[in-house]
Chains A and B, each alone.
Chain A
Amino acid sequence: GAGVSQSPSNKVTEKGKDVELRCDPISGHTALYWYRQSLGQGLEFLIYFQGNSAPDKSGLPSDRFSAERTGGSVSTLTIQRTQQEDSAVYLCASSDRDSLNYGYTFGSGTRLTVV
């Protein structure tokens, strides 16, 4: 597509429920990144995909967080047994690492609120 698409744009969930956040990257972008943005905390790296594999998942805060990418395209970030501290904006970005025009293109994010 023309840009990075994330869904849903907003999600309110009850503590203890599981949530799935979706990211549809720019067509042809081989790299995909998930970041979390909390108020006043900047962007916190979560996980990075190159194709369907995740060479770096060092930023996942706990084993309640997981992510997958299929077909070198769409990625899903899953948070199990959500906690209030998971409330944040989850941003997805994609890039073409082999391009001379290298740079991340971000989606508009999913605002997650755990109540």
Chain B
Amino acid sequence: AQSVTQPDIHITVSEGASLELRCNYSYGATPYLFWYVQSPGQGLQLLLKYFSGDTLVQGIKGFEAEFKRSQSSFNLRKPSVHWSDAAEYFCAVGRNTPLVFGKGTRLSVIA
């Protein structure tokens, strides 16, 4: 069965610091992988996605993620966090079936 694990429920980082949000998945074949961001009271916005090819993918707002098949991971990174990045982040996996989402990681940014 497909599943996504986001080990960190809540992360706090200082503005300007680097960020890495972890995502591990279980999927029977080569998956499509996604990261979404949800700001308070908003719907989910797609940050980036991986289908195939280059394992390092660039997204919006300066985010990137790296697909590591050997580790079944798709971690999200940003070199320098801005206060506006405070939100909930969801990793998702799927291909020919509806996406399965992780439970999310809440990011807080402090001055």
Contact = CB atoms under 8 A, between A and B. Distances in A.
Given A43-B90, A102-B32, A91 B103 contact: no
Contacts of A106: 36, 43-45
7 contacts: A33-B98, A42-B101, A43-B44, A43-B92, A45-B98, A104-B34, A107-B43
B100 A45 contact: yes
B43 A43 contact: no
Contacts of B90: 42-43
Nearest to A44: B101
A48 B96 CA distance: 12
A28 to B, nearest CB: 18
Interface residues of A, number: 21
Nearest to A48: B98
B103 A41 contact: yes
B19 interface: no
Contacts of A56: 97-98
B71 interface: no
B99 interface: yes
Interface in A87-115: 91, 93, 102-109
B46 interface: yes
Interface in A26-60: 33, 35, 40-43, 45, 48, 56, 59
